[in-house]
Structure 1
Amino acid sequence: MIPLTDDYLQRLLQTFLTLRTAKEYWREGEIYWGVKRPDADSVAAHTCCVAQIALLLADEVREAKPGLKLDIDKVVKIPLIRHMPKSITGDTSYAVRIMAEEEFRLLEVEAFNLLTRDLSISCRDEWQELFQEYTSLRGGNSLTSTEARIALFADGLDAWMQALSFSHTWMPAHEEYNKRVYESLKGDSNLHDGLAQLFRQASTMLKGRQIGPKRPHGDIVGIDVRAFLQNLSDRLAARFQPASSQVMQKIQLLKLLQTYLTLQSAKELGRKGYIYFGFKRAESDSIAAHMCCVAWIALYLAEELNRLDASLKLNVGRAISIGLVHDMPEAITGDIGFAVKLIDKNNLQSLEEKGFNRLIENLCPSSQKRLLDLLGDYNSCNSTEARVALFADGLDAWMQVLSVPYTWMPAHEEYNKLVYEKLKGDNKVKDDLAELFRYASNMLRSRQIGPIGVPRRSHSF
């Protein structure tokens, strides 16, 4: 079913290699306003946290307003598709965009067209529609969807949490951007101004710096602080929320923000397995950047499999969500390297399960159920969507390995073989994914393929 030809696979891998550059691009807006380079987010790490926050918030909103028809798959697709062009263009600061907004918009469109050149027409049209919907919302278009607004909420809140983590950044610039996000969130057809007011509440509560990530036992904030924040939350809600958006009061914002802040740590936590086998700390990608690339590869691969065989009917959104969730427990536990897992796999798996349960314990029931289902599917690899995410996980790890010449290859090859074996025997695609993974791994190892725009093979003089 999957055409294992050199030309086909080279084009596919060029796209994957291009997306991975977003791990190394800084978020230049942070640097422009005073953040030092080592402290700035990468584009990929930011995108991951935005998609995760959007996924969790969408469930909270749907739980708070029963009957609301919300497309969760669309919610997680929008942040991933919106930030894809930056893997080619790099990030451009907010200040520079104001000076040449139209020029940068056209540049991103060209980059987007390059990245989607091999997709089916229907898929390309869908992605383009999502991309334009989000960018038009940023421009103040009030006709865009609730899903796009949830993605914008997540984007703005992640940027705000990042800004508040530094003492030496210029806050007026971030506050101005925050106000623009607030204005863009207003006037939703389903939630009216509810999302905008929730965003204002969240921003105000975070600015007090009295909320932190989760601890193993108990809340990170004391009883007095909790009471103060809850009182502040109630007062803000009473002041800013009209009757039409009282649904947002049902969302336990304090507990939700603790979860979001905990997920932020995945931006800074390195992947320890690489370090154990020879990587320097600066060469190991962060957990968040890795999850973003897994979600991107899963998105492309699932769409591509559906294009090649329409009867598969893969749930693309589920494949993406598994990619975003598969390492989420590590926001609490940190990454546990492959070699360490071989020593005591059962106890370490129990540790990850406890970390995950702690992470999601304050989320609404439907969100907890969804996340446990996604993680369980990934660990058991029962569905084709889980195998697509596993393919993406293994391939991203392999590409990272090949970017460092002095790592100990036998260990990575052993892990690669384990991924290959787990990909076999799928109910829908049989051994096709496993063979594609093996073929792709071998082709990448030749180091004759680069990102889009780079010659596919080296030429001798």
Structure 2
Amino acid sequence: MAEPSSGDIDRYLAFFRAAEALKDTMRSGHTRLGRRESTAEHSWRLCLMALALGPELDGIDTGRLIELLIVHDLGEAVRGDIPAPEQTGDKNEEERRDLLALLAPLPEPARARILALWDEYTSMETPEARLAKGLDRLETVLQHTQGQNPAGFDIGWNLTYGRAHTDAHPLIAALRAPVDAETERLAREQAG
């Protein structure tokens, strides 16, 4: 394998510097201490979930799954995260444009590979992509049960969020069941 040119080194570094914005891209979820979580933190836990569950996921390429999870929200580094209840229009189209802008500094082979992963995730045509979407939804509802949510946060909304995606795989559905039970308990307390 040939060593990258100094121009390619600069291009990689420009991309890595731009992608750092994901650390400061805040989501609507909160940590157990009440701090808003970043998209980078969300993506990290998704990758950890895939790594831990890997041996239980027959027929799934865990490495590919982790690659999909790493890039699935990368476009949010440009304009941020829009909470699911507030999304209108075609989020994928806008996020793909943002991703293309973020990937622009990369050498073409790297740019094409990351874009292909993102396209695979959004199309959900592979088992890994469908599982990635289910894990994404599971991680979100799990965080809402763990986090110190702000006043007025509708925890009951979690009971329907991403249901089709989490129910699509038996292991993800089994993991979601106790999370839903916790959500129901929290919703009763909130109403209470």
* TM-score, normalised by the number of residues in structure 1: 0.36
1:299–1:251: structure 2 CA closer, same or farther, 3 Å change rule?
Answer: farther
Partner residue of 1:258 out of 4, 7, 14: 14
Residue type at the aligned position of 1:295:
C
Residue type at the aligned position of 1:301:
L
Q: How many equivalent pairs are there? A: 179
1:368 equivalent to 2:114? Answer: no
- 1:277-298 per-residue CA deviation (whole Å, 9 max, x = no partner) reads xx99943311101111111112
Partner residue of 1:359 out of 102, 116, 138: 102
Match of 1:338? 84
Partner residue of 1:303 out of 32, 49, 55: 55
Q: CA deviation at 1:420?
A: 3.1
Match of 1:283? 35
* Aligned partner of residue 345 in structure 1, secondary structure: coil
For residues 415 and 320 of structure 1, the distance between their equivalents in structure 2, rounded to whole angstroms, comes to 22
Contact 2:23 2:41 in 1 (8 A): yes
Match of 1:292? 44
Residue type at the aligned position of 1:294:
L
Q: CA deviation at 1:404?
A: 3.4
1:40-119 matches, cutoff 5 A: 65=2
Q: What 5-or-longer segments of structure 2 have no aligned partner?
A: 183-192
The structure, 1 or 2, with the larger RCO (C-alpha pairs under 8 Å, 6+ apart) is: 2
For residues 120 and 163 of structure 2, the distance between their equivalents in structure 1, rounded to whole angstroms, comes to 20
Contact 1:302 1:319 in 2 (8 A): no
Match of 1:249? 5
Q: What 5-or-longer segments of structure 1 have no aligned partner?
A: 1-61, 66-246, 307-311, 424-432, 448-461
Match of 1:398? 141
Match of 1:437? 172
Match of 2:165? 419
Q: CA deviation at 1:415?
A: 1.2
Q: CA deviation at 1:384?
A: 1.1
Residue type at the aligned position of 2:89:
K
For residues 350 and 380 of structure 1, the distance between their equivalents in structure 2, rounded to whole angstroms, comes to 12
Q: CA deviation at 1:438?
A: 2.7
Contact 1:298 1:388 in 2 (8 A): no
1:405–1:265: structure 2 CA closer, same or farther, 3 Å change rule?
Answer: closer
Residue type at the aligned position of 2:121:
Y
For residues 437 and 271 of structure 1, the distance between their equivalents in structure 2, rounded to whole angstroms, comes to 22
Match of 2:75? 329
- 1:10-33 per-residue CA deviation (whole Å, 9 max, x = no partner) reads xxxxxxxxxxxxxxxxxxxxxxxx
- 1:349-400 per-residue CA deviation (whole Å, 9 max, x = no partner) reads 3221111001112212221221111111111111111122223212211210
For residues 33 and 94 of structure 2, the distance between their equivalents in structure 1, rounded to whole angstroms, comes to 24
Residue type at the aligned position of 2:71:
V
* TM-score, normalised by the number of residues in structure 2: 0.81
* Aligned partner of residue 57 in structure 2, secondary structure: helix
1:305–1:437: structure 2 CA closer, same or farther, 3 Å change rule?
Answer: closer
Q: CA deviation at 1:302?
A: 3.0
1:444–1:381: structure 2 CA closer, same or farther, 3 Å change rule?
Answer: same
* Aligned partner of residue 327 in structure 1, secondary structure: coil
- 1:162-186 per-residue CA deviation (whole Å, 9 max, x = no partner) reads xxxxxxxxxxxxxxxxxxxxxxxxx
Contact 1:378 1:387 in 2 (8 A): yes
For residues 302 and 340 of structure 1, the distance between their equivalents in structure 2, rounded to whole angstroms, comes to 33
Match of 1:349? 92
Q: CA deviation at 1:299?
A: 2.2
Contact 2:34 2:148 in 1 (8 A): no
1:388 equivalent to 2:131? Answer: yes
Over the matched positions of the two proteins, sequence identity in percent amounts to 22
Contact 1:295 1:389 in 2 (8 A): no
Contact 1:298 1:319 in 2 (8 A): yes
Residue type at the aligned position of 2:137:
G
Contact 1:295 1:392 in 2 (8 A): no
